[in-house]
Structure 1
Amino acid sequence: MKGISCIITAAGKNRRMREDLQNKGMEIKHKLLLEINQEPILTLTVKKALKTISDECVVVLGHFMDDLYPSLEEINDSRLITVENPDVDVELSQTLLNGVLNAKHDYCLCLAGDQPTVTKETMQNLIDQLIKSPEPENTVTILARGETGYLNSARGLGMPFACHSSLLEQYLRGEEDNLNPILRRMVADGVSLYGVQGQNELELININRYKDYLIVLRLLDEKK
């Protein structure tokens, strides 16, 4: 069995959520500290990742790291590792690269800290599909947003995904960009992109704005 490092990015500026809360006259709070079922969003995301077969979970912090540390300190698991971006003013590509460079294993499951609704089953499916693919060192398995199976385009796709660490090192070094343009370059260069079917519609929601948070709360309540 191949070693798996889970990398969770939690280094963003929180700009859109801060704007929304300020406009509503609400307490300014980091989106990753908003609660779902009495637990911070970041805590939930990390706990689900630790339920997969990942050998370690590397959480990359940047902006507002002092606010986020307490939500991680309550997780008692020796596989959890926190690293900090040397420069907090970097794009997602450099946050991911920092995680890869601090990871011990060849295969990486990459998640955003604001994706607590991605199920552990989907996380595991991303890993499993990568490991059993014909060319795991030249393949990216990714949560599908439409078509599944081998894809011709990365349009609209982002985290979560899994791939070999060497691919990430190759395509992230020197880049200051979001993930999707980098995925498009991979596909153009012949990297295989495989869309994995999700478990439900909730998995496709990134909690960027306050309305996203309310949608997640409503849909979770409807599932009870």
Structure 2
Amino acid sequence: MKILLAVALMAVLGGGTAQASPESDVTRGPCGYEVTPDEPAARPVPLPPDPRHTPDHGYPEVLLATNLGPVPLVLDRAQAPCTVQSFLHLVRKKFYDDTTCHRMTAYPTLKVLQCGDPSNTGEGGPGYKYKDELPTDLAPVPNDPTGLRRIYPRGTLAMANAGPATNGSQFFLVTSDSVLRPNYTVFGRISPAGLATLDKIAAGGIAPNPDSQVDGRPALTTDIGRAKRTG
């Protein structure tokens, strides 16, 4: 699955068994996680649970233990309940363990690290997709003639996607205030300790590649050894 992160930039990324209908392969709860037969899972994982009431209160904590330092995350159920439910499911199923963050951008207005694809290609996902839970409180870009772009602040945790309602497993970590249309679900924030790790990765720059000096793999290879819930 090729994940689109930025308009007019490059392609980006993207308990028990779920209650899925054999006919539709869509869970019956309000999140409606849907199997993507044309885009099979990069690593086998069942559909997330989809209870009638999606938990929408609380701030679960997840630690991404990387080879370059810890990246603690604080999720926000109220902001994006279906996204948090899916992310915790993938953490619980070890989907993110032993994976590599495959993309970093260093555009003047877009600075993010993208992770969440076990295939390490930018094309992989969990074999399912689900709806958007788009932010409504992001600050507009001053003097933007379109009036459409918003500021994703430093420390934002958001989902990458390939268009409307195509969320999967790939996510991005905003290392500096970035400008995007509000088309990407925000579901948490990065702790100060995580930002310190990300600053080190960003300082290493982009690995040399023939296509771009501001978009590619991080020069400092960033491996997630384990993702685990800590709170």
TM-score with structure 1 setting the length: 0.29
Answer 1 or 2: which has greater strand percent. 2
TM-score (norm: length of structure 2): 0.29
